[in-house]
Amino acid sequence: MGLEEWLEEKYELTEEHFEVFKNEFMYWVDELGMKGWEFIFKLIELTDARAQCMPGQRGRVVVVCLNTVWEGQEVTEYELRRTGYHEALELFLSKMTQLAQERSVTDADIEEETHNLIRTLENVMWEKSFAERYPKLQPPKKSPKRKK
């Protein structure tokens, strides 16, 4: 089979595929601590994409779509999960993307969102990595919050 034939091959997605995709997406939403969003999932026909994440920053509603047909890519659990992860990262970076597209964005806006992303990654990735790589070392205990 040549490249052109392979690219023209089409694979229909099922509700079972959709569930795998949604579950992986939501796993990473939880893992990255993205709270406060309302999710709407759709299995629909898309043009030129396997999936799409469309967040609305103001109302905190995100529409997550999975294409009903994949062209040139066999539908496997690995690819479904990888696609769910990819779309979760799209949501994770959505505020930064929005800021980059605005004409009235300030340096302070960009710095604030950059540090928001860094803190999230520190909480998600650093803590786990540190514990795995240095099991004998303990991170410092966090000081108790002061009562007002």
For the chain, which residues make up each domain, given as ranges? 1-92, 94-134
d(CA 28, CA 125): 12
Distance between first and last Cα of the chain: 71
The DSSP letter of residue 29 is H
**What residues have CB less than 8 Å from 61, skipping those under 6 apart?**
37, 38, 39, 40, 55
Which of 1-5, 10-14, 36-40, 92-96 shows the lowest per-residue confidence on average (mean pLDDT)?
1-5
CATH ID of 1-92, from 3.30.2010, 1.10.8, 2.30.30, 2.30.31: 3.30.2010
d(CA 30, CA 15): 22
Which of 7-16, 29-38, 105-114, 133-142 shows the lowest per-residue confidence on average (mean pLDDT)?
133-142
pLDDT at position 121, please?
84
Whole-model pTM: value is 0.76
